[in-house]
Every structure is written in structure tokens, then in C-alpha cells.
Amino acid sequence: MLDAAAPAPATPAADGAPPLLDVRGLKMHFPIHSGLLRRQVGAVKAVDGVDFTIRPGETLGLVGESGCGKSTCGRAILRLYDITEGSIRIDGVEIGHLSQHALRKHRPTMQMVFQDPQASLNPRMNVSQIIREPLDEHTKLSSAEKDEKVLELMDAVGLNRAFARRFPHAFSGGQRQRIGIARALALNPKFIVCDEPIAALDVSIQAQVVNLLEDLQEQFGLTYLFISHDLSMVRHIATRVAVMYLGRIVELAPREALYAEPLHPYTQALLSAVPEPDPALARKVERVILKGDVPSPANPPKGCNFCTRCPKVMDICHEIDPMPRHLPGGRQVACHLYEDTKTTTDPTAAHKPGHSSAQQGVSP
Ligand code: SF4
């Protein structure tokens, strides 16, 4: 059963393995048009310069408040949008600016599990037709082979084969999500974006679906980008965690390090709000209440994106946008409170004790 305090899932790939997904400088801006001539007067910067990699077999959790751009980021990586700028390499192939026609042959490699299983399944198709659809589109299997593959996929996700002719409305939310997962697996993908896959499910079902995703990862060697606002669930499933705010990744770290000592003031605020069910394990964390609203991604603040709400804001934060600092232990944080170990000549200057979150009275 799901246990939030369970050890991190093992990463099958050895450290140093080439990444399966390499995202560099990804931007997804949506133009704003106005007036009779529909002139462009600005842009909503939903994703505004995102960099990260995911190794084979790894699960990267992508967390942040609603509207921070995490779902747009996942969709942009799968090229459900024509991206504004940046590079997306999956399994060594650059797909960032391929045409939709050229993308077709790469589609089987990358799939998506959607948030709302009700909305993502065609109500006029039965389970067999839904799971079979990608096989019809992308393979030359015979009809009998497709039927057999559909039944195997139903077995894999824990659906009774007798349900193959039933329609989506006859299933519970958890069962519908299993159908969506089976469809995502039909083409033997290497990489799956799980976009809030449990957000629309009952709490009692969420753990079952997360456990299923973990089992399938082990069985099929899958790599996940797991998008969620549920930090407790991400703590369970992710090997590393990226925290997103206003279209940017503000902190990225191995799971244990991030939850034990969050560095970015925004991460500290998010984690301070996560309830710990076991009082014996509860971190002695001062709750950080962020003031103000998230700024509009069409008009982000000058300097650091977080400067209008940050409890540790300094003068420099209003002027200079902090670039990501690379810290020991594979950590990365975009904040003026820290110095980059790759650029400083004094390695002890990075992640300065005087700047540690613990000393700033937020972390335990
Ligand atoms: Fe806060 Fe400044 Fe760090 Fe931004 S750069 S998170 S405003 S301390």
C-alpha cells in the first residue's frame, strides 16, 4: 500500500546514463490579441524558459500551484502545442520544432495520462475500441493481434476482460483512469506524462492508481513526468522533484533532499502547508503564509518572479532575475540567497550555512 514515508523508488538506470528527455530553454507563450485588427498586444508566458532532464526509468515530479504552468509544460513537451522557443530531445531525437506530420513517427515513444478520465474517453466507444484506437492508427497488426493486445493491456491495468464491450459510463472514476492508462500503454511508450492523474479521483482510489503506475513502471521500464499539486503523492512516487512558479522551475532536487531541507522560499512555503499524518514524524515547521496573489503570467514582475510574495525578498530581487544556481547533491535553485558552485571559486561559499532555510526559521 501507498506509504508517504516509503523509501525513494529505485532508479533502474545507473547515474550518468544519458537522459531519455532533455528539455532546454522551453518557452510556451500564448499571444494576446486585441482591437478590430486583432493585433498582438502581449503574451501569456505560461512556460518561460524551463530546463531539466529525466533519466530512463526515473520519475520526475513537477509541482506547483494551479496556474503555474506545469500542465502546459507537460503538453508542450509532448508537442500538443507548437512551442514558442527551446529544445526538446527525447531518446536522442530533437522534436521541439518538428511538424505535426514529422512528429507522427515519434508519437508511440511518448504518451499522456490525462487528469479527467471521464472527459478523456470517447463515450461512444467501448473499452476495447478505446484501447485499440492507437493500434489502428500506428501499427500494422492484424485484427486478431490487436484484440489479443487489448486483452493483455486490460490484464496489465487490472481490468476484467469481461468488461471489454462496456462503455466508459459504466465504470467508476478509478476504472476509467485504468482504461486511460491502458490506452497510453498500447504503443509500448518509453515516456509518459502523467498530468494530475489522480486529482479527479476519490481519495480512497488515488493510492490504487499511483501503486498501479509504479507497478507498470517496473514492468515496462517506463519513465514518468508526474505533474501534481499534491506534494504528499509526489513524495511517494518521484525520484526527483521540480518546483514551478509562474512558468519557471525555481528549485529541482532529489526527493529526500527537497523534502528534508527545501531551499527556495517558495518551496519552503509549499512544504510548510503539507500535513504530516503521523505526529511522531511531523517536522517542526513554521507555517509560511504567502501574502498576495500570483502575478499574471502576462505581466510577471521585474527581477525575481517571486519577489512580490517572497518573505525573504531583498533589494536585488526587484532588479535582477536569479539564474538557476547549481548546488552539491544535484540540487538546483533559482534564488539570490544562494551561490552557484559552478561559478564560485570558493566551494564552501555555495549553499551558505548563513543562508540555510533552517537558520531562516522556516525549515525544521
Ligand atoms: Fe525571494 Fe529574492 Fe530568492 Fe526571489 S531571489 S525567492 S525574491 S529571496
pLDDT tens sequence for the chain (364 residues): 344 444 444 444 445 678 999 999 999 999 999 988 899 999 999 999 999 999 999 999 999 998 999 999 999 999 999 999 999 999 999 999 999 999 999 999 999 999 888 888 999 999 999 999 999 999 999 999 999 999 999 999 999 999 999 999 999 999 999 999 999 999 999 999 999 999 888 888 999 999 999 999 999 999 999 999 999 999 999 999 999 999 999 999 999 999 999 999 999 999 998 877 666 656 567 788 888 888 999 999 999 999 999 999 999 999 999 999 999 999 999 999 999 876 544 433 444 433 433 333 333 2
- 80 inside domain: yes
- 150 inside domain: yes
Residue 251: CA count within 13 A, CB half-sphere: 27
End residue of a domain, out of 246, 272, 290: 246
Query: Given ligand 1 and candidates 268, 310, 355, which is best to mutate, with the most ligand atoms within 8 Å of its CB?
Result: 310
pTM higher than 0.85, yes or no? yes
Q: Are residues 331 and 182 in the same domain?
A: no
- 2 inside domain: no
Overall domain count for the chain? 2
- 9 inside domain: no
Measure the CA–CA gap between 79 and 107, rounded to whole angstroms.
Answer: 9
For residue 207, the Cα-to-chain-centroid distance in whole angstroms is: 18
**Residue appearing with cell numbers 530531445:** 89
- 302 inside domain: yes
Residue 223 near residue 52 (C-beta atoms within 8 A)? no
End residue of a domain, out of 246, 263, 279: 246
Q: Are residues 215 and 340 in the same domain?
A: no
Residues in contact with ligand 1 (CB, 6 Å cut-off): 264-265, 304, 306-307, 310, 312-314, 317, 322, 335-337
Q: Are residues 269 and 145 in the same domain?
A: no
Question: What are the start-end ranges of the E strands in 39-104?
Answer: 39-54, 59-63, 85-90, 93-94
Q: What is the DSSP letter of 19?
A: P
For residue 322, give its domain range.
252-359
CB-based contacts of 250, cutoff 8 Å, min separation 6: 243, 244, 264, 266, 267, 305, 306, 333, 334, 335
Q: Whose CA is nearest to atom 6 of ligand 1?
A: 335
Helix (H, G, I), strand (E, B) or coil at 342: coil
Q: Are residues 99 and 35 in the same domain?
A: yes
Q: Are residues 120 and 230 in the same domain?
A: yes
Ligand 1: atom nearest CA of 336 is: 5
Ligand 1: atom nearest CA of 250 is: 6
Distance 360 CA to ligand 1 centre (A): 13
